[in-house]
Amino acid sequence: MEVLVRIAVYPGTFDPITNGHIDIIRRASKVVDKLIVAAAENIGKSPMFSLDERRDMVNQEIGLIKADNEARGYQSEIEVTSFNSLLMHFVDEHNAKFVIRGLRAVSDFEYEFQMVGMNARLNPDVETLFLMSSERHQFISSRLVKEIAILGGEIDDFVSPRVKERMMANINKK
């Protein structure tokens, strides 16, 4: 008998990876056998960090999730990679059947609703699973975290100390 492996892709720019992203990764890893966290190139967003830097930050942050999952008996695998192609092509290449998306507010739903429709047309075999952000992370967005940091505000509640350090180093270079 063939064992079915539930593979999901959690795509995002992760510029930077926030505590909200970490929350979604932690929760998604509990419901699939393999979670591929995929940093998108997305040059249209003028990222603060290069694709390699973003992938590296995500890798650093999920180390704690992996250890916690092992301690709790979760068998899911978490892989970090990047992509610069159409999401549905990337999903196909990795034999994934699910896309994970986080929702913070009604405004997120409108955009995601359009994306689900387009993705379903491109690949009707892939399901999108939405996870609502936990109440303490609903307002966090990478764009706002960058803006707060650039303007000298405190970002400790929004990103890990490692991410904050990298952000501040990046800001101070400019």
* Domains defined along the chain, listed by start: 7-173 (3.40.50.620)
Is residue 21 among the annotated active site residues? Answer: yes
Distances (CA, A) of 152 to 67, 81, 100, 113, 130: 33, 31, 33, 35, 33
Per residue in 98-136, pLDDT (tens digit) is 999 998 877 778 888 899 999 999 999 999 999 998 888
d(CA 100, CA 122) in angstroms, rounded, equals 17
Amino acid, single-letter form, for residue 112: E
Answer yes or no: is pLDDT of 27 > 70: yes
Is residue 142 among the annotated active site residues? Answer: yes
Answer yes or no: is pLDDT of 140 > 90: no
Of 27, 97, 104, 164, the catalytic one is: 104
What does the DSSP 8-state code read for residue 44?
G
Amino acid, single-letter form, for residue 52: D
pTM score: 0.91
d(CA 21, CA 61) in angstroms, rounded, equals 10
